[in-house]
Amino acid sequence: MLTLTQLLTERLNEAIQKIQSSKIPEGYSASVTAAADTRFGDYQSNAAMALAKGLGTAPRELAANIIELLEIEDICKEPEIAGPGFINFRINENEIESRINEIRKCSRLGVENTTDPEKILIDFSSPNIAKPMHIGHIRSTIIGDCLVRVGRFLGHEVIADNHIGDWGTPIGQVIYGWKNHLNEEDFSKDPIRELLRLYQMVKEQFDSDEKVNKACLEETVRLQSGNEESLALWNRFKEITMAGSQKIYDRLGIVFDITLGESFYDSKLGPLVDELLSNKIAQESDGAVCVFSNNELEPKNDPLVVKRDGEWMPVPCIVRKKDGGFNYATTDIATIDHRVNEIEADTILYVVDDRQSLHFRQLFEVARQRKINANLKHISFGKILGDDKKPFKTREGSVPDLGSVLQEAVDRARKVVDEKSHNLSEEEKDNVAEKIGIGAVKYAELSQARVSDYVFSWDKMLSLQGNTAPYMINAYVRTRSIFRKLGDDSPEITDKLSISEDAERTISMKLCQYGEIVPEILSDHRPNILATYLYELAQSFHSFYEQCPVLSAEGITRNTRLALCQTTSAVLKHGLGLLGIFPPEKM
Ligand code: ARG
């Protein structure tokens, strides 16, 4: 089924072709968007404004001309011209009715598969060994998981890859800490916390104390050259960390296809650097091996140069350090080779915070110089802030770890459930609190514009009002309660619909647009497009529910309203599922 946007675009293009002017640019396609203000129509096109200048006519005149040529009576009422030359469309009720029937009977709810399926590898979450996952990892984990779900639903082959930071200097630091400062008692109580303490303590000394610095680097070399004792410790740290992360993934319902650490690529780094040298992509400089700009890009777009005091200076990507060690960047270059050659990914998405944006720009430039044939994209995001607009911290001033944030969310949700839901058993209350708490943390993340910082507010995310998970879940639960009251989960609903009230029409149009919204999420990797849509759908449902009695209605009115409740219920559940949120049936 073509979406309404596609159908209107098709018809508009046919009309424009009939103008038969050589002044219409070749391959021109009209743009149609859902109207922001539905008082004047459901959809809108600026085609006449876009073409008028080239054709030497006034936009409004051209709009009238296009409308005359349009064959569209089967889908909408006579289009109207608005403002400087917009063409507004109002869809016919019978078109909406037949779409609602199609959507409610189709498991894809009107969302078509992509016509261009790809193999997409998504690199997300990617915590580091010997450190608990902290709140900073939350954005990557939740956004990445949502993109995996949406990509798969649209028919792409998606590989969820957890690129663990398990190699390099930080591990040497923890090994040094373990050998010199371990508190056995604390370790047996809370191993990850103790490893983190060791890491933080040693890292501080590492920067200021030359002896410690040297000893840590020695530990790193010992590990990387395969010393058995070091490897055993490293494995132990890795198991402890991953067991901690796994608990969080289980709670969040997140599954990875691949969990390869940076260590996996270690043996490939030496040969890679040799290859870069022999291809003349890298060169020796000051004892290190670096990739410099090859001047193919304009300096302002080239991440391997920077402007200082009016002059462009090199900022090379260092792939082998003076001491012979390799970098984060070297590993990432080798990882691209593996993903492109072995896994055969067409697209690789890196869901990583924006502090790493220079790293990824340089990485992609090295890939371009190497003529790597894949589409690489950094899906970056900003920080999570506290109420004070500074990076979110615990009351004690430390970076909160994700496990305790999730627990606090569920505990707080439980209080809300205790206040509001009296008819549930204790077990049901636990279940609902878990779903609301985890859903609230996810929704707070996914309803934000990805690129900006956002304020983490318990009160806001757990409120039953506004663009929040509890509000969305409440709308879904309301749809379910109608069918519970009816005593029939899937009552017989016929195709005879009649949409007459405004509130019925509004919610119907929203339902018809689900198929337009979902593909858009992947075009710019913005889950908040879906969250905003679901919020508007939930709002339309609340007004519909207040204005249009369902169970007390009769005949075709009742049939129509039941159909709308059923379809809304299905779309809300499905859309929340794409966000990784699984609402309870009652609360
Ligand atoms: N482990 C890194 C960190 O916590 C993120 C890794 C992101 N992925 C990558 N391929 N570089 O900052």
pLDDT of residue 83: 93
pLDDT of residue 161: 98
What does the pLDDT average to over 550-573? 97
Of 167, 356, 357, which is best to mutate to test ligand 1, by the most ligand atoms within 8 angstroms of its C-beta? Answer: 356
pLDDT of residue 77: 95
| Residue 136 scores a pLDDT above 80 | no
Buried b (16+ CB within 10 A) or exposed e, 240-250: bbbebbeebbe
pLDDT of residue 574: 98
459's tokens: 């009160």
Cα–ligand 1 centroid distance for 51 (angstroms): 47
Nearest to 7, CA basis, from 570, 513, 571, 521: 513
3-class DSSP state for residue 82? strand
Q: For 108-117, 427-436, 482-491, which range has the lowest pLDDT when averaged over its residues?
A: 482-491
Cα–ligand 1 centroid distance for 364 (angstroms): 15
pLDDT of residue 236: 95
Domains located in the chain, CATH noted: 4-91 (3.30.1360.70), 169-253 (no CATH), 262-384 (3.40.50.620), 402-578 (1.10.730.10)
pLDDT of residue 61: 95
Q: What is the CA radius of gyration of the chain?
A: 28
At residue 101's C-alpha, the angle toward residues 100 and 102, to 5°, is 90
Strands 375-379 and 347-351: parallel
Top mean pLDDT of 168-172, 381-385, 513-517 is at 513-517
Query: What is the rounded distance in angstroms from the CA atom of residue 192 to the CA atom of residue 97?
Result: 57
Query: What is the rounded distance in angstroms from the CA atom of residue 52 to the CA atom of residue 66?
Result: 11
Query: What is the rounded distance in angstroms from the CA atom of residue 132 to the CA atom of residue 173?
Result: 16
What does the pLDDT average to over 185-191? 95
454's tokens: 């956002």
Q: Name the DSSP class of 26.
A: T
State how far the alpha carbon of 292 is from the alpha carbons of 282, 318, 324, in Å: 7, 9, 18
Task: Answer left, alpha or beta for residue 132, where phi above 0 means left and psi between -120 and 50 means alpha.
Answer: beta
What does the pLDDT average to over 378-390? 91
At residue 440's C-alpha, the angle toward residues 439 and 441, to 5°, is 95
Cα–ligand 1 centroid distance for 35 (angstroms): 40
Cα–ligand 1 centroid distance for 313 (angstroms): 27
What does the pLDDT average to over 312-337? 95
Q: With beta carbons less than 8 A apart as the criterion, state whether 561 and 475 touch.
A: no
Nearest to 451, CA basis, from 389, 380, 521, 390: 380
62's tokens: 């051209």
> Confidence band (pLDDT; 50, 70, 90) for 229?
very high
Helix 191-208 to helix 169-181 angle, to the nearest 10 degrees? 100
pLDDT of residue 552: 95
**Within 10 A of 427 (CB to CB), how many other CB atoms are there?**
8
What separation, in Å, do the N-terminal and C-terminal C-alpha atoms of the chain show? 36
Q: Per residue in 210-228, pLDDT tens?
A: 999 999 999 998 998 889 9
The strands making up 32-34's β-sheet, listed across from edge to edge, are: 32-34, 43-45, 86-89, 80-82
Task: Answer left, alpha or beta for residue 25, where phi above 0 means left and psi between -120 and 50 means alpha.
Answer: beta
Query: What is the rounded distance in angstroms from the CA atom of residue 534 to the CA atom of residue 111?
Result: 15
Nearest to 328, CA basis, from 370, 374, 360: 360
pLDDT of residue 442: 97
Ligand 1 atom nearest to 128, measured from its CA: 1
Give me the chain's average pLDDT, please: 94
201's tokens: 């303590």
Q: How far does CA 229 lie from the centroid of its chain?
A: 41
394's tokens: 């615990």
Ligand 1 atom nearest to 136, measured from its CA: 4
Cα–ligand 1 centroid distance for 576 (angstroms): 27
Nearest to 446, CA basis, from 538, 529, 539, 536: 529
Cα–ligand 1 centroid distance for 165 (angstroms): 6
Helix 402-420 to helix 135-153 angle, to the nearest 10 degrees? 80
CA dihedral for 559, 561, 562, 567, sign (positive or negative):
positive
Of 139, 336, 352, 381, which is best to mutate to test ligand 1, by the most ligand atoms within 8 angstroms of its C-beta? Answer: 352
Query: What is the rounded distance in angstroms from the CA atom of residue 495 to the CA atom of residue 54?
Result: 47
What does the pLDDT average to over 345-355? 96
pLDDT of residue 540: 97
Cα–ligand 1 centroid distance for 453 (angstroms): 19
pLDDT of residue 396: 73
3-class DSSP state for residue 350? strand
State which H helix or E strand residue 530 sits in: helix 527-547
| Residue 316 scores a pLDDT above 80 | yes
Ligand 1 atom nearest to 137, measured from its CA: 4
State which H helix or E strand residue 455 sits in: strand 454-455
Q: Per residue in 542-558, pLDDT tens?
A: 999 999 999 999 999 99
Q: Per residue in 66-80, pLDDT tens?
A: 999 999 999 999 999
State which H helix or E strand residue 558 sits in: helix 555-578
How much is the pTM?
A: 0.95
269's tokens: 């780094």
Alpha helices by DSSP H, 338-457: 357-369, 402-420, 426-446
> Confidence band (pLDDT; 50, 70, 90) for 388?
confident
Cα–ligand 1 centroid distance for 427 (angstroms): 39
DSSP 369-399: HTT--SEEEEE----EE-TTSSBP--TTSSP
pLDDT of residue 131: 81
Beta bridge partners of 149: none
Of 121, 124, 126, 167, which is best to mutate to test ligand 1, by the most ligand atoms within 8 angstroms of its C-beta? Answer: 126
> Confidence band (pLDDT; 50, 70, 90) for 490?
confident
Q: With beta carbons less than 8 A apart as the criterion, state whether 96 and 508 touch.
A: yes
Ligand 1 atom nearest to 353, measured from its CA: 12
Cα–ligand 1 centroid distance for 314 (angstroms): 25
Among protein residues, the one with the nearest Cα to ligand 1's atom 1 is 165
Among protein residues, the one with the nearest Cα to ligand 1's atom 11 is 332
| Residue 418 scores a pLDDT above 80 | yes
Q: How far does CA 195 lie from the centroid of its chain?
A: 31
Question: How deeply is 230 buried, as exposed, middle or buried, from its count of CB atoms within 10 A (0-12, 13-18, 19+)?
Answer: buried
Q: Per residue in 22-52, pLDDT tens?
A: 888 888 999 999 998 888 899 999 999 999 9
352's tokens: 């990583």
Cα–ligand 1 centroid distance for 332 (angstroms): 9
| Residue 344 scores a pLDDT above 90 | yes
Beta bridge partners of 326: 320
pLDDT of residue 40: 87
Q: What are phi and psi of 283, to 5 degrees?
A: -145, 160
pLDDT of residue 225: 86
Hunting for tokens 């690789």 — which residue is that? 348
Q: Per residue in 501-540, pLDDT tens?
A: 999 999 999 999 999 999 999 999 999 999 999 999 999 9
Query: What is the rounded distance in angstroms from the CA atom of residue 17 to the CA atom of residue 12?
Result: 9
pLDDT of residue 98: 96
Residues in contact with ligand 1 (CB, 6 Å cut-off): 123, 126, 128, 163, 165, 332, 335, 350, 352
